[in-house]
């Protein structure tokens, strides 16, 4: 029998609520502002100049992948990589009763992934971890936990 890579947790029941990705059109709707060996920065051409959106992709090599997990059977290869995507959006608030009122507020979100340089780690494996990350941001009823997190209430509570 061949090698099998699998996570060992059993809480894997799907939620009825799904996250529906937006079709961003990264090639057609974004201008490349920066393109270096380890970073690409895209600017949304559908947004006005005074309310831009920037999406960045970056990566770097790691000597070792640090973790808080106890790793009892470590791989021989310690080297790894880190890659990250970041979205910077500008929330614009105006007042229909006051043409001079405008408040701009940046909101930035990023996803960073680190893992060893191993053939055992596939795109599908990373997708499973990202799915669990998104799941950790939701209550069991499918609503987002951001209202709690915005108040520094990190500990999950019953729905």
Whole-model pTM: value is 0.86
Same structural domain, 39 and 100: yes
Same structural domain, 111 and 152: no
Contacts 24+ apart (CB under 8 A), 15-21: 15/135, 15/138, 15/140, 15/142, 16/142, 17/138, 17/141, 17/142, 19/134
- Is 12 within a domain? no
What total number of domains does the chain contain? 2
Same structural domain, 113 and 153: no
- Is 1 within a domain? no
Same structural domain, 70 and 86: yes
Q: Which domain holds residue 158?
A: 122-159
**pLDDT truncated to tens, each residue of the chain (159 aa)?**
677 777 777 878 888 778 888 999 999 999 999 999 999 999 999 999 999 999 999 999 999 999 999 999 999 999 999 999 999 999 999 999 999 999 999 999 999 999 999 999 999 999 999 999 999 999 888 889 998 899 898 777 765
């Amino acid at each position: 029998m061949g090698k099998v890579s699998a996570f060992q947790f059993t809480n894997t029941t799907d939620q009825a609520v799904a996250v529906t990705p937006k079709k961003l059109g990264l090639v057609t709707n974004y201008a490349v502002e920066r393109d270096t060996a380890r970073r690409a920065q895209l600017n949304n051409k559908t947004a006005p100049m005074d309310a831009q959106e920037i999406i960045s992709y970056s990566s770097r090599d790691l000597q070792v992948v640090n973790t808080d997990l106890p790793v009892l059977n470590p791989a021989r290869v310690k080297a790894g990589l880190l890659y990250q995507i970041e979205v910077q959006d500008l929330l614009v608030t105006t007042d229909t009763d006051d043409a001079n009122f405008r408040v701009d507020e940046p909101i930035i979100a990023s996803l960073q992934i680190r893992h060893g340089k191993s053939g055992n780690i596939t795109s599908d494996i990373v997708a499973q971890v990202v799915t669990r990350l998104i799941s950790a941001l939701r209550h069991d009823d499918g609503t987002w936990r951001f209202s709690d997190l915005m108040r520094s209430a990190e500990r999950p509570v019953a729905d």
